[in-house]
Structure 1
Amino acid sequence: AQHVVGSETALSRSVQGLIHRTRRVGMAIVVSDLFDESGFQPGLDQLRYRRFDGHVLQLHDPKEADPALLGDVELMDVETGSLRKVTVTERNAREYQRLFQGHQQSVRDYCRNYGLGCTQSPSTIKYDDLILRMMREAGRAA
């Protein structure tokens, strides 16, 4: 299923679209940042329940992993276009990094617990390197 730029992440809705269009079960590669307000688990659960062989490719912008923001800033959600003015303190920045790493870990834990392949990578990686990384991750999971 394809996600339209400028709209919110809705993994469950995308997976439902795939399920309704696909008669056969097979491999499903989910490419997303998995920042879904409803949680990423329901969408991945649907793939598992339908017996798809799933692999999660979680991409993130390097600036999401380590934003160099302090002071008064205006943040824009690139999916919705909404703007928010915030004051970022060192404490806020540390808490954000803790939450970001926690989210990454929860994706790894989910995939490991349910037998899904999982590759996490910055979006700046070269395509060939990304494919090699996915193949290595798939080899470890097998």
Structure 2
Amino acid sequence: MIDTTFLDQLARFQLIVKKRVTSSYVGQRMSASAGRGLMFKDHRIYAPGDDFRAIDWRVYARTDDLMVKVYEEERNLTVHVIMDSSASMNYGRHTTKFEYASMIGIGFAYLSMRDNEKFVFSTFADELDLCQAKRGMGQLASMVHYLNNVEPQGHSRLMDAITAYHKQFGSKGYIVLISDFLVNLDEVKEALWHLGKHQVRVVQVLDPQEKSLKMEGDFRFRDAESGKKLRTYVSPRLRAKCQQLLDAHTHSIKDYCRTAGMHFTQVTTDMEIFDAFYSIMS
């Protein structure tokens, strides 16, 4: 069962939007635009490509400078929460990665609801399961109910999911992509490339044991998604090698996100959920 009590702690936070976005409907969020709008805001110097109708000819008559009227137009932002529900997300001693990811996703949906913004939530594994954009507590309650009934299974087909998602939503949005990202690095990069025009927060959720592999001796491992089994002796050298590979994988994703103007955060399921959320939003 997903714990939603932390939502009360999020009440004083608002979604931070760093880039101007466009949308197909009018809402509460304000964005600056040149030309006709809801309310005059300011002037700026005319630039090639600006609408001639936006030129303030009275200012030109006084100053001989071509100045464009800038208006404030209300535009809304759709928040998209995309969560990995593959079998590997079912890992965890106390809290599974999927449960933890669900709390993060619900937190973003809650903040968007407080801003009266539409939000969309979806899960993916072998295929994408998508819910349409809505507002309000009803949508949030539906999200909690849905996630409480999801049984993580199947393969993490990240690229297929993002491709399908991209076809559904063409306009710019605020996307929160949550996964353990324990898939091929090229697939991760290609998927993120398809999200390039959006504002994107990438959240990697790992179990503490995946990060530090504090074990030694003879073990039998089973791949959660493929079912393949491997018996091997876990030595200090093997632990160090696994740690090195995971760190390199994570750093490559983080570097790509930075280059693409996306925000990357890694969290582990032993972190207090509010602290993790604060880190993601910082």
TM-score, structure 1 normalization: 0.85
Mapping for residues 83-98 of structure 1, pairs under 5 Å: 83-98=229-244
Would you say 1:41 and 2:199 are equivalent positions? no
Runs of at least 5 residues in structure 1 that lack an aligned partner in the other structure: 137-142
Q: Are 2:184 and 1:63 aligned?
A: no
Structure number with larger C-alpha Rg = 2
| Paired letter, 2:233 | T
**Preserved CA contact (<8 Å) 1:6 1:80:** no
Q: Confirm or deny that 1:126 pairs with 2:279.
A: no
2:127 corresponds to 1:6: no
Aligned CA RMSD, in angstroms, stands at 1.6
Distance 2:182 2:280 in 1: 20
- The residue number in structure 1 matching 2:129 is none
- 1:109 lines up with 2:255 in the alignment: yes
CA distance in 2, matches of 1:91, 1:31: 31
State the alpha-carbon separation in 1 of the partners of residues 235 and 275 from structure 2: 36
* Other structure's SS at 2:124 match: coil
Higher RCO, Cα 8 Å, sep 6+: 1
1:32 to 179, 194, 214: 179
Q: Which of structure 1's runs of 4+ aligned residues deviate more than 6 A?
A: none
* Separation in 1, partners of 2:124, 2:232: 28
* 2:159–2:187 Cα contact (<8 Å) kept: no
Q: Could you list the per-position Cα deviations for residues 13-63 of structure 1 after superposition, in whole angstroms to 9, with x for gaps in the alignment? A: 111121122242201111011111353111111111xx1111100111110
- Secondary structure of the residue aligned to 1:19 is helix
In the alignment, the residues of structure 2 paired with residue 83 and residue 34 of structure 1 have an alpha-carbon distance, to the nearest angstrom, of: 21
Q: Which amino acid aligns with 1:46?
A: H
The structure carrying a bigger helix percent of its residues is 1
For structure 1, which segment, 121-130 or 89-98, has the greater mean C-alpha deviation from structure 2 after superposition? 121-130
* 2:193 is the alignment partner of 1:72: no
- Is the CA contact (8 Å cut-off) linking 1:69 and 1:88 kept in structure 2? yes
The count of residues paired between Structure 1 and Structure 2 equals 134
Identity fraction in percent: 23
After TM superposition, list the pairs within 5 Å mapping 1:129-140 onto structure 2: 129-136=275-282
| Inter-partner Cα distance in structure 2 for 1:80 and 1:30 | 23
* Mapped pair 1:20 → 2:167: yes
Aligned equivalents of 2:188 and 2:260: distance in 1?
A: 13
Q: Does 1:81 align with 2:227?
A: yes
Superposed displacement of residue 92, structure 1: 1.1
Structure 2, gaps ≥5 residues long? 1-121, 126-151
**Alpha carbons of structure 1 residues 107 and 124: separation in structure 2 relative to 1, 3 Å:** same
Looking at structure 1, the residues matched to 193 and 180 of structure 2 have their Cα atoms a distance apart, in angstroms, of 17
One-letter code of the match for 1:2?
Answer: T
